[in-house]
Amino acid sequence: MAIIRAIRGMKDILPPETSRWQWVETKARETFERYGYREVRLPVLEKTELFARSIGSDTDIVAKEMYTFTDRRGDSLTLRPEATAQVVRACLENGLMKAPGVKKLYLMGPMFRYERPQKGRYRQFHQINCEALGSDAPELDAEVILMLVDLLGQLGIKDLRLLINSLGCPECTVDFKAQLKLFLAAQEGWCDDCRRRLDTNPLRVLDCKSQHCQSLLVGSPTMEDSLCEDCSRHYKRVQFLLDGVGVAYEKKPHLVRGLDYYTRTAFEVTAAGLGAQDSVAGGGRYNGLVKDLGGPDIPGIGFGIGEERIIELLQSDYNKESQLKVFLAAIGNRAQEEAFSILQDLRKAGISAVMDFENKSLKSQLKIADKLEAKVAIILGDQELEKRVVGIRPLRDFVLIQEGGKYNLVEIKEKQFVGQVFQQEEIGLESLIDHLSITYFKT
């Protein structure tokens, strides 16, 4: 019988890759909390109306990509394609908007879009989102962008480009839309979607994915030229603040983003090495969204990071804190018995450790240890038991060296390492835990 496979565009995330995900999420949590953000966890299902009303009916997301279905009661529900609208919904519903000051929230989790799957583009993907509600100050825009850049830097992601634009307010977009419509109407050859958007929502043409449409846009009017005085001042101040803290950016006049709720600052971060789907994060201000969703007139700004794309970009030497430290290889019944309690002592000392209970040969056990990517194997056989010692053997990327008469575990970093290396160290059972904690793993 054939096995049942996962749905196209939805992938399983398995070890050892999961440790990368955990590491990224931990870094994100630590960073956001340093800037005063707190976590929210919200349902993956929402009423369809929430997304239709906020993201915009002309966007690709709402027009083509939502996983929408009718439930048993006949209500139209949608698997969330993004998180901003639902964060606003949750704040309104739970009275969070009433709290004084800026509401700073973050959310991590799966999003769903029925797009054509390709490298870096999935139908279930994961986002790390931050939303700050309650201030229109350009300082907040700069801080949000800075926090994103800070996190990406800590994750060691290189060759990034930060693109920014201002989409103005509803007043200045009236003028811009009129100018843009004239420009668009004077060109021929737009795709079917864009022909429709010419009338309904000309800004969406700027975001069209067709290469041909993009080529027709050369020389089109830019939003920056149509910004009202307030929006222009706001945009300049954001740039001034970013310059002040040394965050490099490029102005991209056609950046409109794929969702209709944006006003004023919009931004995107792209990375080299991702191919066609090179946007690792995107965000911006959404000053009208809370009101559009039935709340008070409260401005907001935020961003969403594509987690799959971040994972793809992680350097191979990303932090290995979560790597399994010890594989305890016990050979023979007596050794297996003794090892069972050593295993527990190791864990109590904060050292991650596993053993195999099948009493296999040393060779087979070391194979398992290698597969699990453990840092060291601790070997306990009859001989060792007799002498009340164990052997410590470095695995994979590690070697033992001698420093000041003592052995120490070091990582072989591609040929950088020179000097005598040792295959195994023997140490008394009584001092094993202290030795591992102090010298090897510094727990």
- Give the footprint of ligand HAM on residues 219-238 (CB under 6 A): none
Which of 138, 202, 283, 394 touches ligand HAM (CB under 6 A)? 283
By CB under 6 A, tell whether 122 contacts ligand HAM.
yes
CB of 261 to ligand HAM, least distance (A): 8
Structural contact between residues 348 and 443, judged by C-beta atoms closer than 8 angstroms: no
Q: What is the dihedral of CA 142, 147, 152, 153, to 10 degrees?
A: 90
Taking CB under 6 A as the criterion, which residues in 305-334 touch ligand HAM? 306, 308-309
Report, in Å, the least distance between residue 123 CB and ligand HAM.
7
d(Cα 261, Cα 254) in Å, to the nearest integer? 16
- Number of DSSP helices (H) and strands (E) in the chain, helices first: 16, 18
Nearest residue to ligand HAM, using CB? Answer: 306
Number of C-beta neighbours around residue 54 at 10 A: 23
Q: How far is the CB of 117 from ligand HAM (least distance, A)?
A: 8
Selected from 54, 59, 127, 287, the binder of ligand HAM by CB under 6 A is: 127
Cα four-point dihedral sign 154, 155, 159, 163: negative
Nearer to ligand HAM, 3 or 7 (CB): 7
Q: Considering only residues 54, 129, 166, 263, which one is a binding residue for ligand HAM as defined by CB under 6 A?
A: 129
Rank residues 54 and 365 by Cβ distance to ligand HAM and give the closer one: 54
Q: Does residue 280 interact with ligand HAM by CB under 6 A?
A: yes
User: Looking at 142, 203, 205, 281, which residue binds ligand HAM (CB under 6 A)?
Assistant: 281
d(CA 90, CA 46): 11
Buried b / exposed e along 117-138 (16+ C-beta atoms within 10 A): eeebbbbbbbbbbbbbbbbbbb
User: What's CA 216's distance to the chain center, in Å?
Assistant: 34
CA nearest neighbour of 337 among 279, 385, 291, 407: 385
Say which DSSP state 118 is in: B
CB of 339 to ligand HAM, least distance (A): 44
103 lies in the binding site for ligand HAM (CB under 6 A): no
125 belongs to the binding site for ligand HAM (CB under 6 A): yes
Q: Does 46 bind ligand HAM (CB under 6 A)?
A: no
The H or E element containing residue 425 is strand 425-428
Residue 348 corresponds to which tokens in the numbers above? 């109590």
Q: Does 302 participate in binding ligand HAM (rule CB under 6 A)?
A: yes
Q: Which of 103, 113, 204, 393 forms a contact with ligand HAM (CB under 6 A)? A: 113
The residue (of 309 and 393) whose beta carbon lies closer to ligand HAM is 309
The encoded tokens of residue 415 equal 């040929």
The two three-digit tokens of residue 31, written as one number: 């960073």
Q: Supply the minimum distance, in Å, between the C-beta of residue 396 and ligand HAM.
A: 31
Q: How far apart are CA 152 and CA 144, in angstroms?
A: 13
What is the nearest approach in angstroms of ligand HAM to the Cβ of residue 188? 30
And the tokens for 197?
């958007």
Contact letters (x/-) for ligand HAM, 76-95, by CB under 6 A?
A: ------xxx-----------
Q: Are strands 326-330 and 376-380 parallel, antiparallel or unpaired?
A: parallel
Q: Which residues bind ligand HAM (CB under 6 A)?
A: 82-84, 113, 115, 121-122, 125, 127, 129, 131, 258-259, 279-284, 302-304, 306, 308-309
